[in-house]
Structure 1
Amino acid sequence: MGTFVQLVIDGLSTGSIYGALALAIVLVHQATGLINFAQGGMAVLSAYIAYVFTQLGLPLIVAILIAVVISFALGAAAERLLVRRFERGDPDTAVVVTIGILTLATGICAWIWGYDNRQFPSLFPLSTVEVLGAVVSIRSLGTIGAIVAIMIVLQVLFMRTKLGLALRAVAINPESAALSGLPVGRLLMIGWGLAAALGAIAGSLVAPQLTLTPGMLDGALVYALAAVIIGGLSSPLGAVVAAWMIGVLENLAAVYVPFIGYDLKIAVPFLLVFVVLILRPQGLFGRRIVVRV
């Protein structure tokens, strides 16, 4: 029983890393209708910004808040100066632009700070507690709690606030939104800015567990995209639940399914994606879109 609980809790902790990025991807999609492949690179850049301020002697929470503000400005600037030139054209072109921003952000981090592993301070203590025979770190529990809080805030933002409804309207039909008097350009900038700010929080939560490097989130981004597909592009709740599901099922399959083991556990999320795309293409928590023709 202790082993099972340990695997589940470790899976939830790992899944929270994927969920942090998945939430930012959902946020951009809800605000702009695009899949933002640059989210991992932007989160890493934000984590480095927070790291610089901690090295200047500022308290960690203050450094993270400053990084959030700077990241919001950078995200809004990226939308205004780069992405907007391609948003009204072929969606595939805009997606390629986000991949270019990912490469640019990663390259800037490597150019300025190099590829050395850097230890990022944690918001939570490194002590452990025992839960049903499993040893769990306070940092893992804190990360899970933070992701739950962010998920709730985003769910409320999109479902219960005027800003969230306006962002969704712009993403679904920018022309109709503009005719309704919504400032489409400004809302797109806000959407990218909010996603970059969320990326700063995600990067600061993840960096203590992975160590800070330019490629820190490359692998996690793949899992985050899988979580978004499984959970649904329109649901912050679905993205987090799917990320936790991936983390837990990976761990359980590695231990309890002999032919999978640790070598093949990476196939678990992609098998889930395959099944979900066949049975429920909009995702487990996503909304079915009806198009009139």
Structure 2
Amino acid sequence: MATFIQLVVDGLSTGSIYAAIALALVLVHQATGLINFAQGGMAVLAAYSAWWLTARGVPLVLAILASIVLSFLLGAAVERWLMRRFERGDPDTAVVVTIGLLTLITGICGWLFTYNNQQFPSLFSLDAVSFLGVSVSQRSIGTTLVIVVVMFLLQGLFAGTKLGLALRAVAINPQSAAFSGLPVERLLMVGWGLAAVLGAIAGAMVAPQLTLTPGMLDNALVYALAAVILGGLSSPVGVVVAAWIIGVLENLAAVYIPLIGYDLKVAVPFILIFVVLVIRPQGLFGRKTVVRV
């Protein structure tokens, strides 16, 4: 039983990493209607910015806050000067542009900071807390709590604020939103900026656990996309729960299903995606879209 609980706890910790990126994907989709594959690259760039500042004596908290501000400006600039040219065209073209942007940002990070592993300082202690034979680090606990707080803030943003409702209106129908008097272009910039802020927070939480490299979040981005599909693009709570489910089931399958083991545990989220899409295409917590014709 102790082994089982330990696997569950470790899975929740790993799932929090996936959830951090998944929340940023949900935010940019809710604000623009697009899936931003460059989100992982923008998060890594923010983490490198904070690391560069700490290497020059800036306190960690101030360095992370500075990277958050820079990320907001970067996200808004990307929307204004790049994505705006494609947002009203074919959505597939815009998605391809975000993939190209991911490659570009990763290359820039490697060019500026090299591809060597860098140690990113953690906001939380590495000391472990033991309870009923289960050991979990304070860093994992802190990361999970931060993700939970961000999840509720994001849910509250879209459900209970004028800004969140305006962002959703722009994403659903920008023409109608413009006719209603909403500043569509400004809201799109804000949406991309806020998504970049979430990416910066995710990068700061994840980098101490994975070590900082340009491709640090490549694998996590795949799992985050799986969590978005499972949880539903319209539900921040859903994607976090889905990310935790993926992390826990991946760990349990690796230990208790010999056919899968550690080598094939990467297949677990894809099996879950297949099952969920067959049973509930909108995701576990997503809303079914009704189109009037």
User: TM-score normalized by structure 2?
Assistant: 0.99
Deviations 1:105-164 (A, max 9, x none): 101100000000000000000100112211110000111101000000000000000000
Distance 1:156 1:32 in 2: 18
Distance 2:196 2:267 in 1: 29
Q: Quote the residue 1:179 is aligned against.
A: 179
Q: Quote the residue 1:268 is aligned against.
A: 268
Distance 2:44 2:261 in 1: 30
Deviations 1:200-247 (A, max 9, x none): 000000000000000000000000000000000001001100000000
- The structural deviation recorded for 1:2 is 1.2
Distance 2:244 2:148 in 1: 11
Number of equivalent positions? 293
Q: Secondary structure at the match of 1:290?
A: coil
For 1:69, the aligned partner's letter is V
For 2:155, the aligned partner's letter is Q
Q: Secondary structure at the match of 2:125?
A: coil
Q: Which runs of 4+ in 1 moved over 4 A?
A: none
Distance 1:49 1:188 in 2: 24
Q: Quote the residue 2:213 is aligned against.
A: 213
Distance 2:260 2:96 in 1: 34
Q: Quote the residue 2:12 is aligned against.
A: 12
Distance 1:53 1:235 in 2: 34
Distance 1:254 1:104 in 2: 35
The 8 Å contact of residues 19 and 243 in structure 1, kept in 2 or not, is answered as yes
Distance 1:69 1:270 in 2: 35
Q: Structure 2 matches for 1:22-61, cutoff 5 A?
A: 22-61=22-61
- The structural deviation recorded for 1:100 is 1.0
Question: Is residue 63 of structure 1 aligned with residue 63 of structure 2?
Answer: yes
Q: Quote the residue 2:128 is aligned against.
A: 128
Distance 1:72 1:59 in 2: 20
Q: Secondary structure at the match of 2:27?
A: helix
Distance 1:132 1:145 in 2: 21
Q: Quote the residue 2:236 is aligned against.
A: 236
Distance 2:288 2:149 in 1: 26
Query: Identity percentage over the alignment?
Result: 75
In structure 1, the gaps of 5 or more residues are: none
Q: Quote the residue 1:96 is aligned against.
A: 96
Question: Is residue 117 of structure 1 aligned with residue 117 of structure 2?
Answer: yes
The 8 Å contact of residues 32 and 191 in structure 1, kept in 2 or not, is answered as yes
Distance 1:136 1:4 in 2: 14
Q: Quote the residue 1:84 is aligned against.
A: 84
Distance 1:239 1:104 in 2: 27
Q: Secondary structure at the match of 2:82?
A: helix
Distance 1:30 1:174 in 2: 12
More displaced 10-residue stretch of structure 1: 1-10 or 21-30: 1-10
For 1:6, the aligned partner's letter is Q
The 8 Å contact of residues 231 and 283 in structure 1, kept in 2 or not, is answered as yes
- The structural deviation recorded for 1:196 is 0.4
Q: Secondary structure at the match of 1:266?
A: helix
Q: Secondary structure at the match of 2:15?
A: helix
Q: Quote the residue 2:140 is aligned against.
A: 140
Distance 1:259 1:132 in 2: 30
Distance 1:287 1:10 in 2: 30
For 2:37, the aligned partner's letter is F
The 8 Å contact of residues 5 and 132 in structure 1, kept in 2 or not, is answered as no
Deviations 1:80-109 (A, max 9, x none): 101000000000000001111101110110
In structure 2, the gaps of 5 or more residues are: none
Distance 2:4 2:58 in 1: 40
For 2:68, the aligned partner's letter is V
